[in-house]
């Protein structure tokens, strides 16, 4: 059984990007449910109209990493936003990072390398939703990596979640450094979780999803967004 950490961040497109980030999170959550995987939110930041600016969550289950690693990259959506009055199609982007969760013995962090800050959890619009400072921010000095967790009102639970995210980020950083040393340059292949790489376009008016890595098109967007990811994952893993 493998565990992964997925980070979804709204990119270009403002509130529409945040709404699509929410849609992607629902799609992955539903697929995880279909696969009998367990999902746990580690950190999230909502937008004012119900979208997601950023969310980090863990998925645990058989073959989770081997199937979900292909989701890393930039996802582009083309559709008419709910807030659009002139029926114009907008293009927005959302970035997804898929991190393999390391075993306990694979990543060793020196406690003295971590700076810990506490703050109040914030809700949509940035207002504080908790009177106590139970949200936590960890800054790893040697790498400069900063992670947060504010999903619960329990300080210890948020600290553990933040550490899980930090370990996964460090593990991914170490993996990429090894790959770069071996290849001498950035790998160009399916499964690369480079956030700058546009991997997929979701065209709602034409009811079409295009995966640019294998140049293949899939129809019935609503069904796919409801968790029917298997055809896309199967095409990617067999390519």
Give the pLDDT band of residue 206 (cuts 50, 70, 90): very high
* Residue 129, pLDDT above cutoff 50: no
196: pLDDT strictly greater than 60: no
In sequence order, which residues have a C-beta less than 8 Å from that of residue 5 and are 6 or more positions away? 42, 56, 57, 58, 59, 98, 99, 101, 164, 165, 168
According to DSSP, the residues that pair with 200 across neighbouring strands are: 75, 211
User: Which tokens sit at 202?
Assistant: 């979701």
Domain 111-183 in CATH 3.30.160.20: yes
> pTM score, two decimals?
0.72
Q: Identify which of 44, 11, 12 has the alpha carbon closest to the alpha carbon of residue 25.
A: 44
pLDDT reading at 184 higher than 50: no
Dihedral angle sign, alpha carbons of residues 211, 195, 237, 24: negative
Whose structure tokens read 């800054």? 139
Assigned CATH for 2-103+188-238: 3.30.70.1660
Mean pLDDT of the chain: 83
- Cα angle 61-65-71, degrees, rounded to a multiple of 5: 120
Residue 187: pLDDT over 80: no
Better-predicted residue by pLDDT, 81 or 75: 75
List of E strands, the chain: 2-10, 38-46, 52-61, 73-79, 90-100, 114-119, 135-140, 145-149, 198-203, 208-211, 216-219
For residue range 5-34, list pLDDT tens digits in order: 899 999 888 888 999 999 999 999 999 999
Residue 6's Cα: distance from chain center in Å? Answer: 4
**pLDDT confidence bin for 209, thresholds 50/70/90:** very high
User: What is the arithmetic mean of pLDDT over 53-57?
Assistant: 91
Residue 138's closest CA among 111, 115, 169, 161? 115
Residue spans of the domains in the chain: they are 2-103+188-238, 111-183
């Amino acid at each position: 059984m493998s565990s992964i950490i997925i980070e979804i961040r709204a990119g270009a497109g403002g509130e529409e990007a945040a709404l699509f980030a929410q849609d992607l999170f629902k799609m992955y959550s539903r697929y995880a449910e279909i696969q009998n995987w367990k999902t746990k939110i580690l950190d999230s930041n909502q937008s004012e109209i119900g979208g997601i600016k950023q969310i980090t969550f863990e998925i645990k289950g058989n073959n989770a990493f081997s199937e979900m690693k292909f989701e890393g990259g930039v996802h582009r959506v083309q559709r008419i936003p709910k807030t659009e009055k002139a029926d114009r199609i907008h293009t927005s982007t959302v970035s997804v990072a898929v991190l393999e969760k390391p075993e306990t013995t694979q990543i060793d962090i020196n406690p003295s390398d971590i700076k810990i800050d506490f703050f109040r959890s914030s809700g949509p619009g940035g207002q504080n939703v908790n009177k106590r400072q139970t949200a936590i921010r960890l800054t790893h000095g040697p790498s400069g990596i900063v992670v947060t967790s504010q999903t619960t009102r329990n300080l210890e639970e948020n600290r553990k979640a933040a550490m899980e995210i930090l370990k996964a980020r460090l593990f991914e950083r170490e993996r990429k450094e090894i790959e770069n040393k071996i290849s001498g340059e950035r790998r160009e292949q399916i499964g690369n979780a480079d956030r700058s790489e546009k991997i997929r376009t979701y065209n709602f008016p034409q009811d079409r999803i295009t995966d640019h890595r294998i140049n293949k098109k899939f129809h019935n967007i609503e069904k796919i967004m409801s968790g029917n990811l298997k055809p896309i994952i199967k095409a990617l893993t067999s390519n």
